[in-house]
Amino acid sequence: MNDRPYSASELLICLASRLMDDRTTAFIGTGIPMLAASLAQNRHAPDLVPVFEFGGTGAILEKLPLAVGDMRTYHRAIAASGICDIMETAQRGFIEYGFLGGAQIDRYGNLNSTSIGDVRRPKVRLPGSGGANDVGSLCWRTIAILHHDRRRFVDTVDFVTTPGFLTGPGAREAAGLPRDTGPYRVVTNLAILGFDEVTRRMKLLSLNPGVTVQQVIDNTGFELLLADPIGHNDPPTAEELALLRERIDPDGLYR
């Protein structure tokens, strides 16, 4: 993608931003989700309500926060509370979108950010959950953003840090998680993926510019379902790139 007028991160930001509807709430994490939320506010979703783990709710993202506890996450906000209030808000069903990441994801959207290998004797110890388990358990629709390769898209995650659809249809509900919540989209450097409503398995929905179906299959460690037809994601527009580069992240901290 080096020969294109946008970076891989800029493409991810634009794709994630387009998934957020106006007049909805979104649980925002550090990095790409912050830029995506700000871009949405500046374009198609002026009444998007960003929710940050440390208590900022409904901030106007005029300047890019450096982290979820940055004072900018409270700028002209609806409320400034704390982490317990935010998690309770999610538990009550008031947060529609939740952004997630991880080192591994499987066919049912379960995410691992805890360890690679046996958790008792891991090959690699990762940062852990933070608020990711709460987001994945309680938000109506979760959006995972990952780099797409076989090390990350695995048949079975080594540890379930954040529940997706667990083992398949009905498993979330059987585990006591709220009905009709769970994984919605997976945004990667290759494609956008969703989940089949019946089997709850991951499905290829649309390809990024210049990417083929075979490339996605080759970089996935399990059998993907394929939408019919498979769509194509538009590249970043001139307006989106101008907003990102000139207003949202002029210093290039995350893009």
Give the residue numbers marked as catalytic: 53
Write out the H or E segment, with its range, that includes residue 130: none
Identity of the amino acid at 3: D
Tokens of 100: 């997630």
DSSP string of 188-227? Answer: ESSEEEEE-TTT--EEEEEEPTT--HHHHHHT-SSPPEEE
Alpha helix stretches (DSSP H) within the chain: 8-18, 32-42, 83-91, 132-138, 171-174, 213-218, 238-242
Tokens of 247: 């207003």
Asked if 95 and 139 count as a contact pair (C-beta separation under 8 A), the reply is yes
Q: What are the residues whose beta carbons fall under 8 Å from the beta carbon of 180, sequence distance 6 or more? A: 140
Tokens of 107: 């066919």
Strands 104-105 and 111-112 turn out to be: antiparallel
Asked if 173 and 195 count as a contact pair (C-beta separation under 8 A), the reply is no
For tokens 């019919």, the residue is 228
Count CB-CB contacts under 10 A for residue 132: 26
Give which of 33, 46, 138 is closest to 95, Cα–Cα. Answer: 138
